[in-house]
Structure 1
Amino acid sequence: MLLDSLPHLDPVIRKEIDLKLSGIEREHAVRILFAVESGSRAWGFPSPDSDYDVRFVYVHEEGWYLSLTPGRDVIEQPVTEIWDINGWDIRKALNLLLKPNPVLVEWLSSPVHYRWSDAADQLVKLGRRTGDSTAYLHHYLRLGSQQKHLAEIAYAKTGVTHYKRLFYALRPAMAIRWIRTRPGIVPPMNFQKLCAGGGLTVGEKREIVRLLALKMKAEENALGPSVLILDSLIEAEFEWARKQASVLPAADLQAEAEMLFRAIVRGAVS
């Protein structure tokens, strides 16, 4: 059995995040539709010193969208060692969802909610219907390959494995396996859920459990020997993904997204 996928979040931290989100709403005159954790704490393998990656989608008052000059469609807070907080305007979010945008779909599947609403539920339903596109496959291949490449460079220099980068490559590899074995179903964000449905061998599961326990006790820069069985798993899934050249068209959901956008802006869906 894999380790608990949802580490305890200190109520004090939750309250501080809520205060920060309320401050953003006041400062920018917006209403936050949902706010979630998007980093390693939501993925299921945080380190003790992991920061909080808070992502949100917001909506302005209706008049903001009627201006001749388009306003800025992102809100970004200064990044610190503890906080990484930013969000997208609902119009930007819906346009990205139609592409589709795997990052936004992951936000919507996060197991850690700081804010949620009926509008968020509608976005989840819309996002699920974009799951047939192989854009998800290419997203995870690109994401995982970058981390694998960085890990290989570091290993060549030091002879040890950076466990954070290993997990950052392993999660996309497991998402690719999910896509390969469950076509049409969007992969979950959480690593443990990916593994639970990933048909891991006894050896693979043993090493993952061992490294999860190590990473949750070690600092972000924990190093150690390479893990051949997991390196092989990652490369096998990436190699399969590279061979999938065709890209299926995303479902045509433009009209539905337009209706949802208007309903959210007008407050009919809150």
Structure 2
Amino acid sequence: MTIDPRLNRIVAAQPHPLLFATISGAHLYGFPSPDSDFDLRGAHILPIERVVGLDISDETLEDSRVIEGLEMDIVSHDVRKFFRLLLKKNGYVLEQLYSPLVVQTTPEHAELKQIARGCITRHHSHHYFGFSETQWKLFLKESPRRVKPLLYVYRVLLTGIWLMRTGEIEANLVKLNESFRLPHVPDLVARKSSGPEESILNEADIAYHESEYLRLRRELQAAHDASSLLKTPSAETRSAMNELLLRLRLS
């Protein structure tokens, strides 16, 4: 994906300096449609006077609107909050940190990516179990049933299995399927990418996708059970993250 120059200007206009800014959502997952918005995610650095008082504001900044003709969904956390989320089993922030769709980066972003490898644990599987269940329920609830939530189900489960097996973050469903080779995924991606008119599923296919959903959940559980990943982030990882946070804040 080529980064639209308008995204660079949007990032430059943010109210606080950014540690990094990346693209998440459908563009990261490999199945954007013509009407997909841009999910811009990042970590910003609040000035020290904003974080030492009784009240802390702007820990999370959100902005959803059309900017320079682009439909934007912007979410950014202050670095302290972002680091704390990394120390929990939060797959969202891992995917944002390691997204290859980089709009802005810094040397400290690269440093954080190295440190955060120590935050990847086998218990991140719980994030992907929960996210896939939410998307599956959304898929079943809708009428007519759409391709989009079903693609999210497959994307989330394959990302979780891959993470448990390799310790690597890969959120792009098309790339993941080069290894998993699910025969129905290319057609689903093509239908989602072509626009709304192709995004409705045939009811006859539901039973098949349900069996695949349950099978992949079993695979994720097996990958969790066999994983050699840590159970919790190490003390060294937490210490390195704290040292980086202090440097960012004091600079």
Pick the TM interval, shorter chain: 0.7 to 0.9
Distance verdict in 2 for CA 1:79–1:142, change over 3 Å:
farther
Deviates more, 1:253-262 or 1:57-66: 57-66
What are structure 1's unaligned runs of at least 5 residues? 1-5
Give the secondary-structure state (helix, strand or coil) at the position aligned to 2:41: strand
Instruction: Report how far residue 176 of structure 1 moved.
Output: 2.8
Q: Is the 8 A contact 1:176 1:237 kept in 2?
A: no
- Is the 2:119–2:232 contact (alpha carbons within 8 Å) kept by the matching residues of 1? no
Matched residue SS, 1:72: coil
Verify: 1:134 aligned to 2:122, yes or no: yes
SS in 2 for 1:129: helix
- Is the 2:135–2:152 contact (alpha carbons within 8 Å) kept by the matching residues of 1? yes
Decide whether the 8 Å contact of 2:191 with 2:198 is kept in 1: no
The alignment status of 1:266 with 2:250, answered yes or no, reads yes
For residue 188 of structure 2, what is the aligned residue in structure 1? 211
**Does 2:67 correspond to 1:77?**
no
TM-score, normalised by the number of residues in structure 1: 0.79
Q: Distance in 1 between matches of 2:95 and 2:109?
A: 13
Q: Mark the CA change 1:213 to 1:91 in structure 2 (over 3 Å): closer, same or farther.
A: same
Between the aligned residues of both structures, percent identity stands at 22
Tell me the distance in 1 between the aligned counterparts of 2:157 and 2:148.
14
Aligned residue in 1 for 2:139: 151
Q: Residue deviations 1:191-231, cap 9 Å, x none?
A: 22322233x2xxx23x2122222221122882022266554
1:45 equivalent in structure 2: 31
| Structure 1 segments of 4+ aligned residues over 6 angstroms from their partners | none
- Note if contact 1:54-1:85 (Cα within 8 Å) is conserved in structure 2: yes
Q: How many residues align?
A: 241
C-alpha root-mean-square deviation of aligned residues, in Å?
2.6
Distance 2:98 2:139 in 1: 27
Q: Secondary structure at the match of 2:32?
A: coil
Alignment CA distance shift 1:119-1:224 (3 Å): same
1:51 and 1:187 map into 2 onto residues whose CA distance is 23
Instruction: Look up the SS of the partner of 1:111 in the other structure.
Output: coil
Distance of 1:119 and 1:143 partners within structure 2: 29
Give unpaired runs (5+ residues) of structure 2.
none
Q: CA deviation at 1:248?
A: 2.5
The aligned counterpart of 2:217 is 238
Kept after mapping to 2: 8 A contact 1:102/1:135: no
Do 1:173 and 1:238's aligned partners in 2 also have CA atoms closer than 8 Å?
yes
Is the contact made by 2:94 and 2:169 (CA closer than 8 Å) also made in structure 1?
A: no
Match of 1:24, SS state, is coil
